[in-house]
Structures are given as C-alpha cells and as structure tokens.
C-alpha cells in the first residue's frame, strides 16, 4: 500500500483560545517494502502524526491519500491495511483477556479461519496459553508491548505502525522484538513506520528517517 500525507496540518482545539498548531504542511509518503523511522523532540507531534496515519484524527488542513483514495470515506476499510500499536499499550487494551484482545482484531476485520489465525499469531509472537488467559492490564510492560503488537498484526495488515516499541522492554524482549521486526520488514508488500527516540537500536535496518522540528517534517 501507499500512504501519503499532502500538506497536512493539525491544529488541536482549532478556532478556540486553546488552539495549538502542532503539525505544519507535512508531506510524507510510504510505499510497500519501506521502513521509515520518525524522530523528533518530546512534544514535537510524533504521536499526533501517527494518529493521522491511522485516521484516528483528521487533518485540519491538507490531505491523506491511501492507494489513491481518501481513507476518511471508509476508515474501517483502509484501517484493515494498517496495524497500529500505541505508545502506552494499556491505552489500547479493552478486553478482559489477552485472547479476546487479539481475537477482537481478527473478528473486527472479518479474517477467515479466526482460530487458525490466533494460533499463527501465538506462534509468531511466542505467546503461551497461560498468558492468553490473563488480563492484558495485569501483564508486565514487556508482555503488554508484545500483546499490543500481536493485536496490531492479527488481521495481517500491510503497514505496521509502532509508537516507541522498545520502551519498557528488557534486553531479551527487545532483542526478540527487533528480530520480529526485521522479519516483518523483509517480507514482500509489508512496510513499517516506527517512532523512536532510540534510533541506535534499529541500526541494522535499512530505512529512511523523517524528523519533525517545530511542527515541520523533513526526510533526512
Ligand atoms: N488532545 C490534545 N489537546 C491539546 N494539545 C495536545 C493534545 N494532544 C497532544 N497535544 C499537544 O500537541 C503537541 C504534540 O504532542 P504529541 O503527543 O503528538 O508529541 P510527541 O512528539 O509524540 O511527544 P512525546 O515524544 O513526548 O510522546 C504537544 O505539545 C502536546 O502537548
């Protein structure tokens, strides 16, 4: 898939005294088989940019185009192509068990053979049956991150978007996450966007870097 932002601006509380112009004339494009890292200081607008890319926010001005179409005409259809794991996994959870959390994505996007898909995800992300019965809210930071990514990829999206995926991971979990992401990035027709403050951890990846400075974005 191709996701493009054309002169995108985002203003929180637009036309109120609290308005804040966070993103200014952003031009961004990701194609199949690309990896793009998004960097920028704290508060520079990285998370806001990701929310726009998953159509959770609509640009105040400017345009988002997915495969030549306007995703806001049918966000569900276009969101099926995208998997998004939030910066704080507990903000994305809402189910009573890890299994329900992952099954939600599978059912929400009407994936065929949901039970088989669940088994595939368990193998891929190394999740055991005991963990699947637990509440996602009671897991360690590393386990939560793993479950958040498992639900983000459960419906087999084309583009995976991760907000600070290595935060709160121990060395072993970080290593296995990076291996998983390398595998993802090597697959045909998959692409990856990662917001990180720690580019060094991804030094093995061939990817572009998009930096946000004072609300403006540049490919380095
Ligand atoms: N709902 C909101 N209403 C008003 N302002 C907001 C809202 N959400 C974020 N902001 C402001 O927009 C700016 C960009 O926030 P954002 O979370 O996108 O930045 P970030 O680069 O992801 O930051 P961090 O690295 O700290 O996560 C910040 O100044 C933030 O305070």
Calculate the dihedral angle through the C-alpha atoms of 124, 206, 197, 45, rounding to the nearest 10 degrees.
-100
Cα–Cα separations (whole angstroms), residue 68 to 82, 155, 181: 16, 22, 27
Tell how far the Cα of 124 is from the centroid of ligand 1, in angstroms: 33
User: What per-residue confidence (pLDDT) applies to 86?
Assistant: 92
Q: What are the DSSP calls for 41-52, one per residue? A: -TTSSHHHHHHH
CB distance 46 to ligand 1 below 6 Å = yes
Protein residue with least CA distance to atom 9, ligand 1: 48
- What are the domain boundaries of the chain? 1-80+157-217, 95-155
CA 177-46-2 angle, to 5 degrees, is 75
CATH H-level, domain 1-80+157-217: superfamily: P-loop containing nucleotide triphosphate hydrolases (3.40.50.300)
pLDDT of residue 173: 86
How much distance in Å is there from the Cα of 47 to the middle of ligand 1? 7
Phi/psi for 5 (5° steps) reads -110, 125
Decide: helix, strand or coil at residue 182: helix
Ligand 1 touching residue 215 (CB < 6 A): no
| 48 touches ligand 1 (CB under 6 Å) | yes
Distance 174 CA to ligand 1 centre (A): 26
Whether 47 lines ligand 1, by a CB cut-off of 6 Å, is yes
* 136-181 per-position pLDDT tens digit: 999 998 899 999 999 999 999 999 999 999 987 888 889 989 999 9
Report the nearest-CA residue for atom 4 of ligand 1: 12
DSSP secondary structure letters along 62-125: EEEEETTB-GGGSHHHHHTTEEEE-SSGGGT--SSSHHHHHHHHHHHTT-SSHHHHHHHHHHHH
Task: Quickly count: other Cβ atoms within 10 Å of residue 113's Cβ.
Answer: 10
Would you say the CB of residue 196 lies under 6 angstroms from ligand 1?
A: no
Q: Is the distance from the beta carbon of residue 39 to the nearest atom of ligand 1 less than 6 Å?
A: no
CB of 20 within 6 A of ligand 1: the answer is: yes
Q: Report the complex ipTM.
A: 0.97
What pLDDT, on a 0 to 100 scale, did the predictor assign at position 215? Answer: 95
Regions of the chain short of the pLDDT cut 50: none
CA geometry: angle 212, 159, 49, nearest 5 deg: 25
Ligand 1 within 6 A of CB of 22 = yes
Nearest CA to ligand 1 atom 14: 45
Confidence (pLDDT) at 101: 96
């Amino acid at each position: 898939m191709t996701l493009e932002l054309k002169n995108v601006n985002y203003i929180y509380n637009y036309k109120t005294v609290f308005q804040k112009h966070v993103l200014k004339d952003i031009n961004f494009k990701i194609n199949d088989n690309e990896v793009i890292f998004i960097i920028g200081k704290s508060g520079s607008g990285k998370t806001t940019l990701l929310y726009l890319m998953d159509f959770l926010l609509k640009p105040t001005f400017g345009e988002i185009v997915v495969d030549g179409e306007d995703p806001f005409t049918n966000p569900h259809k276009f969101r099926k192509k995208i998997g998004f794991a939030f910066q704080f996994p507990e903000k994305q959870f809402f189910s009573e068990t890890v299994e329900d959390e992952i099954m939600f994505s599978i059912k929400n996007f009407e994936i065929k053979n949901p039970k088989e898909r669940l088994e595939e995800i368990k193998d891929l992300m190394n999740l055991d049956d005991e963990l699947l019965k637990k509440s996602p809210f009671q897991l360690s930071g590393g386990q939560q991150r793993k479950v958040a990514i498992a639900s983000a990829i459960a419906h087999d999206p084309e583009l995976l978007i991760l907000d600070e995926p290595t935060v709160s991971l121990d060395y072993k979990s970080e290593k296995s996450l990076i291996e998983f992401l390398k595998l993802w990035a090597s697959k045909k027709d998959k692409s990856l966007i990662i917001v990180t403050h720690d580019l060094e951890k991804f030094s093995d990846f061939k990817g572009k870097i998009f930096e946000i400075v004072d609300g403006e974005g540049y490919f380095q």
